[in-house]
């Protein structure tokens, strides 16, 4: 055991926690991390590296560690976590990652959540600089949010320092206590600000339950805080980096600051026979602290001279210091046994090598949002190099020099050795040889070297390795680091689980589901549903033993032979009101709407400026200054947006207002030759005869005092009545219609049947039979394009020569000549076919199948297709590749059922 008494302010020694790592049981204390528990048991090796399968241990003490990755098995499988950042709880089971982690194969039932916060000042980092900034802001009366990623505040303070005349831990406790007295202050530990975006927007991940033994099940496991702050103080400290030498990835090599952290925080002595290799003053404190805790320590300072005060303290403590000496390699297998030192390559036995190669200010959050970085030549680090509105960088993150520093550091990236054994990025197994290859391939910018070598793209995002890669690249190129460009830091600062980002937007809550007012009726009727936009619509209503084909054939036959009923409530509905309503509609529809008489209905087509169809629907004129228009279900919002854009941007001042009433009105289509009897029975006061209530007219009536609108609109070619009612009365009306239609065997039908019925009539579905390159004329809807209007959206494009090309694709029907094959939608149509074989590629394409169904009425499958010069080719046989065969199909007119339109009026 390497637990030392008198240290470890973060752990609670009165309690014991048991964990299992790589199959072996270990005990630690609350406040320990997996890393500190392993070091306490003298375990340094953990797994193997991603590419070369070299043994890897733990090289840091917090999220800077590039190599100590674990797979958590219990309580819930999670891959690629840092042993240094996993707080232990009883029963935790982990193993070292061998190359790659493994995702959970079971659903994650934990809760994840998000919280929005607005504040005057956000302080990131609760080290001394952050605590002081938060305290200043709080005393000034600001709303302050203070977040810090570690379990406890204090940042890199070891507890040995003195601040404001008090021991550091006392200062931290006092300051935190004072902050708690300010009502405007929110202070969260275990909360990592991982992304900084424009205008003071920061995302932070709070870990709420993993460290608890018995977390309430109602508490979310993690929470993403979305913080918008008027001012942001970045107090994220600095991250120590190593330097590079042969076999620098061996377990038992640790950052000097990490060893110090483990000692003071967790009471763990990471090694007993310690070599400290440094290029600056900061490692001396680590050397002295470890020696004070009982380790045998020697210091190798790469600088020609040593700082005299530190050296004197080392002499007092019996710690030998050598100047101008450094490490060139290591020995050992699963743990370091010796370091190769100095020009004579002497081997010095040890069980721990501490490395300190300088400090990288944690400028990530400053850089995320575009803060410029500058290279500090003297310290070999990127520091904030300019101003950002509303952003302040304080403390070590700003590049401030430690006041205890006696002598400037030596900027050292690597020592002499074998480039292939000098690991720059332990997370990616990338060596100096890889950097040399990138430079040899012509990369001269850090961003290119990063992409070529993958350095800095691991879980740690190059916290320790990024600067080394820059320095080594500069050395290899013989250029100054400042001339290589800077690498830009991007979110996230530390890995964030997708589950946390998704929050509650999972499963049913991922996307809103819209259901109609009678959804429960559909469910009771056994409907199979399909998603249409956000709507959930009945696709068909299978009876026991029926598949979709059988159900749809039955429903189709029922409609064409008797009466069916469809819930059409999802159709987009826009109430258009105002004296200029007709002006607007004349401009947006291809046909004339101003001439539509009150009480009548007109089918309308909308095009884009390019003259291609974007939507279609019916238009009811309710009054001289009022229309109700319908849109396709999936296009309702887009059509409303388009209309709003017109009246607000192109023709502002037009006296017209638009209101979406899609949800307000429920619409049921009662369809089929027997529909008149059913509707007449429900509405005995209405004369439903064709003479009194003609096709494409509407009228208002009441049912038990409730206003109801009836319209003679048909999307199937059959006699049909659309019955509309305010949605709160929809269930009652649906029940009435079904009851009244019982003698006729009224059959509820779904969207699939609706599609078959409309396709049999050649009615296109915009977006299925069209693709943005199809004009009304291509669809055979030239009759719906006004020749009287001087202009409407799309009209000018119809005059383009390309719109009059006889070879344009046109909507036609296709009947497979075998009368049995249902052509797959999307199939290509080819022309020249020699003895059933495709011509050599490129095979000339004539078009494609847009809709394809089995028809009960025709007793065979049929399809709609867009075919080049289709209308001229009626009667021709073309071929459709289906799998490995070519299916012949005959082109026909687009209307296959009742081309004379005799059924429409019953």
Partner 1 sequence: MQLITCPWCGPREETEFHYGGAATVPYPADPAALGDDAWARFVFVRPNPKGPATEQWSHAAGCRRWFTAVRDTRTHRFLATVDIQPEVPR
Which residues bind to partner 1, rule: CB under 8 A?
197-199, 201, 228, 580, 583, 609-610, 641, 644-645, 648-655, 790-791, 795-797, 799-801
d(CA 267, CA 471) in angstroms, rounded, equals 35
887 phi, psi to nearest 5 deg: -100, 120
Q: How far is the CB of 371 from partner 1 (least distance, A)?
A: 14
Are residues 184 and 141 in contact, defined by beta-carbon separation less than 8 angstroms?
yes
* Closest separation in Å from C-beta 446 to partner 1: 23
By beta-carbon proximity to partner 1, the closer residue of 188 and 196 is: 196
Q: How far apart are CA 343 and CA 329, in angstroms?
A: 12
Find the shortest distance in angstroms from Cβ 791 to partner 1. 6
Contacts of 880-884 with C-beta under 8 Å, sequence gap 24+, read 880/814, 880/816, 880/823, 880/827, 880/828, 880/829, 880/830, 880/849, 881/827, 881/828, 881/830, 881/838, 882/821, 882/823, 882/824, 882/827
- Closest separation between CB of residue 112 and partner 1, Å? 20
By C-beta, is 366 or 683 nearer to partner 1?
Answer: 366
Minimum separation from the CB atom of position 601 to partner 1 (A): 26
Least separation in angstroms between CB 253 and partner 1: 41
Nearer to partner 1, 196 or 428 (CB): 196
CB closer to partner 1 out of 789 and 860:
789
Rounded Cα distance between 598 and 576, Å, is 14
By beta-carbon proximity to partner 1, the closer residue of 602 and 795 is 795
Q: Which of residues 202 and 887 has its CB atom nearest to partner 1 in the complex?
A: 202
First vs last C-alpha separation in the chain: 94
C-beta of 505 vs 706, nearer to partner 1:
505
**Rounded least distance, CB 807 to partner 1, Å:** 19
> In whole angstroms, how close is the CB of 726 to partner 1 at the nearest point?
24
Nearer to partner 1, 320 or 370 (CB): 370
- DSSP reduced 3-state for 456: coil
Q: Does residue 231 contact residue 121 with C-beta atoms inside 8 Å?
A: yes
Q: Find the length of the chain.
A: 906
Among candidate residues 256, 308, 318, the one with its CA nearest the CA of residue 282: 256
Q: Which is closer to partner 1, CB of 202 or CB of 412?
A: 202
| Nearest distance in Å: CB 226, partner 1 | 8
- Identify which of residues 407 and 661 has a Cβ nearer to partner 1 in the complex: 661
Give 797 or 831: the residue with its C-beta nearer to partner 1: 797
Give the largest CA-CA distance in the chain.
114
Rounded Cα distance, 276 and 543, in Å:
79
> Toward partner 1, which CB reaches closer, 53 or 800?
800
Distance CA 18, CA 213 (A): 12
Q: How far apart are CA 37 and CA 35, in angstroms?
A: 5
Identity of the residue, 13 or 609, whose beta carbon is nearer to partner 1 in the bound complex: 609
Which of residues 31 and 491 has its CB atom nearest to partner 1 in the complex?
491
- Minimum Å distance from CB 625 to partner 1? 15
The span from the CA of 845 to the CA of 880, in Å, is 10
Number of other CB atoms surrounding residue 114 within 10 Å: 17
3-state SS, residue 720 = strand
Task: Give the CA-trace dihedral at 640, 641, 644, 648, to 10 degrees.
Answer: 180
Please, are residues 763 and 572 in contact by the beta-carbon 8 Å criterion? no
Determine the Cα–Cα distance for residues 572 and 526; give it in Å rounded to an integer: 25
Nearer Cβ to partner 1 (48/797): 797
- 841 and 821 in contact (C-beta within 8 Å)? no
Query: In the bound complex, what is the minimum distance in angstroms from residue 645's beta carbon to partner 1?
Result: 6
Which of 365, 368, 383, 140 minimizes the C-alpha distance to 233?
365
| 151 contact partners, CB below 8 Å, separation of at least 6 | 10, 31, 87, 189, 190, 211
Please report how close the Cβ of residue 222 comes to partner 1 at its closest, in angstroms.
20
CB of 651 to partner 1, least distance (A): 5
Least distance between partner 1 and beta carbon 485 (Å): 18
Q: CB of 656: closest distance to partner 1 in angstroms?
A: 9
Strand order from edge to edge, sheet including 720-726: 698-703, 706-711, 720-726, 665-671, 564-567, 747-748
Q: Cα dihedral sign for 217, 222, 228, 233?
A: positive
The DSSP result for 91-143, as a single string, is TEEEEE-BSB----SS-----EEEEEEEEEEEEE--SHHHHHHHHHHHHTT--
Q: How far is the CB of 703 from partner 1 (least distance, A)?
A: 34
Q: How many CB atoms lie within 10 A of CB 6?
A: 7
d(CA 282, CA 199): 36
What whole-number distance in Å separates Cα of residue 672 and Cα of residue 679? 11
User: Considering beta carbons, is residue 264 or 368 the nearer one to partner 1?
Assistant: 368
The C-alpha atoms of residue 453 and residue 484 are separated, in whole angstroms, by 16
Q: Which is nearer to partner 1, 654 or 738 (CB)?
A: 654
Residue 449: CB atoms within 10 Å: 28
**Bridge partner residues of 186 (DSSP):** 145
Instruction: In angstroms, give the least distance from the CB of 639 to partner 1.
Output: 14
């Amino acid at each position: 055991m390497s637990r030392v008494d008198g240290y470890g302010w973060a752990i609670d020694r009165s309690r014991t926690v048991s964990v299992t790592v790589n199959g072996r049981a270990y005990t630690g204390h609350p406040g320990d991390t997996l890393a500190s528990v392993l070091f306490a048991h003298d375990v340094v090796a953990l797994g193997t590296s991603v590419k070369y399968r070299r043994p890897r241990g733990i090289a840091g003490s917090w999220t800077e560690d590039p190599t100590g990755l674990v797979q958590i098995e219990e309580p819930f499988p999670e891959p690629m976590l840092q042993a240094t950042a996993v707080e232990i709880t009883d029963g935790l089971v982990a193993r070292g990652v061998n190359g790659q982690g493994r995702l959970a194969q079971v659903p994650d039932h934990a809760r994840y959540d998000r919280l929005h916060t607005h504040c005057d000042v956000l302080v990131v980092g609760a080290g001394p600089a952050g605590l002081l900034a938060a305290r200043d802001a709080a005393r000034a009366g600001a709303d302050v949010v203070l977040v810090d990623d570690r379990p406890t505040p204090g940042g890199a303070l070891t507890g040995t320092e003195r601040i404001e005349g008090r021991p550091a831990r006392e200062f931290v406790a006092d300051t935190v206590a004072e902050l708690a007295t300010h009502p405007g202050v929110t202070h969260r530990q275990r909360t990592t600000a991982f992304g900084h975006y424009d205008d003071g927007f920061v995302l932070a991940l709070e870990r709420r339950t993993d460290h608890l033994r018995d977390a309430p099940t109602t508490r979310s496991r993690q929470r993403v805080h979305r913080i918008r702050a008027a001012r942001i103080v970045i107090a994220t400290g600095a991250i120590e980096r190593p330097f590079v030498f042969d076999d620098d990835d061996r377990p038992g090599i640790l950052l000097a600051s990490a060893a110090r952290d483990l000692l003071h925080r967790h009471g763990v002595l990471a090694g007993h026979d310690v070599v400290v290799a440094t290029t600056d003053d900061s490692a001396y404190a680590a050397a002295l602290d470890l020696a004070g805790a009982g380790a045998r320590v020697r210091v190798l300072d790469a600088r020609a001279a040593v700082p005299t005060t530190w050296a004197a303290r080392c002499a007092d403590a019996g710690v030998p210091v050598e100047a101008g000496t450094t490490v060139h390699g290591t020995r050992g297998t699963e743990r370091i046994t010796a370091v190769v030192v100095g020009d004579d390559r002497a081997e010095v036995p040890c069980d721990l090598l501490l490395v300190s190669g300088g400090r990288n200010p944690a400028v990530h959050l400053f850089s995320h949002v575009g803060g410029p970085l500058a290279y500090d030549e003297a310290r070999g680090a990127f520091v904030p190099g300019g101003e950002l509105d509303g952003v302040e960088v304080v403390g070590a993150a700003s590049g401030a020099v430690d006041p205890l520093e006696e002598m400037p550091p030596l900027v050292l990236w690597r020592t002499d050795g074998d480039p292939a054994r000098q690991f720059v990025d332990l997370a990616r197994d990338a060596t100096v040889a890889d950097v040399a290859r990138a430079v040899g391939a012509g990369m001269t910018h850090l961003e290119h070297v990063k992409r070529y070598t993958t350095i800095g793209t691991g879980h740690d995002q190059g916290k320790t390795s990024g600067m080394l890669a820059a320095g080594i690249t500069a050395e290899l190129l013989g250029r100054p680091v400042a001339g290589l460009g800077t690498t830009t830091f991007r979110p996230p600062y530390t890995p964030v689980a997708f589950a946390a980002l998704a929050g509650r937007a999972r499963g049913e809550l991922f996307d809103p589901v819209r259901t109609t007012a009678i959804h429960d009726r559909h469910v009771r009727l056994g409907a199979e549903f399909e998603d249409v936009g956000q709507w959930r619509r009945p696709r068909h209503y299978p009876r026991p033993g029926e598949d979709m084909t059988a159900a749809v054939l039955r429903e189709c036959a029922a409609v064409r032979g008797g009466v069916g009923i469809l819930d059409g409530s999802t159709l987009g509905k826009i109430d258009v009101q105002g004296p200029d309503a007709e002006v607007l509609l004349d401009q947006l529809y291809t046909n004339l709407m101003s001439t539509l008489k009150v009480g009548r209905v007109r089918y309308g087509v909308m095009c884009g400026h390019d003259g291609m169809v974007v939507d279609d629907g019916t238009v009811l004129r309710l009054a001289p200054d009022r229309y109700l228009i319908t849109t396709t279900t999936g296009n309702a919002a887009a059509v409303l947006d388009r209309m709003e854009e017109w009246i607000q941007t192109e023709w502002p001042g037009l006296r017209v207002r638009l209101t979406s009433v899609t949800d307000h009105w429920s619409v049921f289509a009662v369809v089929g030759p027997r529909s008149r009897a059913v509707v007449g029975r429900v509405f005995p006061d209405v004369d439903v005869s064709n003479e009194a209530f003609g096709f494409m007219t509407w009228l208002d009536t009441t049912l038990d005092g409730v206003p109801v609108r009836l319209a003679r609109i048909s999307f199937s070619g059959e006699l049909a009545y659309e019955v509309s009612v305010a949605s709160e009365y929809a269930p009652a009306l649906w029940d009435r219609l079904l009851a009244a239609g019982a003698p006729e065997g009224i059959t509820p039908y779904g969207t699939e049947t609706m599609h078959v019925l409309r396709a049999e009539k050649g009615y296109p579905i915009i977006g299925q039979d069209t693709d943005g390159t199809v004009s009304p004329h291509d669809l055979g809807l030239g009759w719906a394009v006004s020749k009287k209007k001087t202009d409407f959206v799309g009209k000018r494009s119809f005059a383009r020569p390309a719109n009059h090309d006889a070879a344009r694709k046109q909507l036609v029907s296709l009947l497979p000549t075998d009368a049995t094959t249902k052509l797959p939608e999307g199939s290509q149509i080819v022309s020249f076919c020699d003895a059933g074989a495709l011509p050599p590629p490129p095979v000339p394409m004539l078009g494609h199948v847009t809709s394809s169904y089995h028809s009960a009425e025709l007793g065979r499958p049929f399809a709609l297709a867009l075919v080049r010069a289709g209308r001229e080719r009626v009667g021709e046989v073309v071929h459709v590749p289906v799998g490995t065969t070519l299916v012949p199909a005959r082109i026909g007119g687009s209307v296959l059922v009742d081309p004379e339109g005799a059924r429409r009026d019953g």
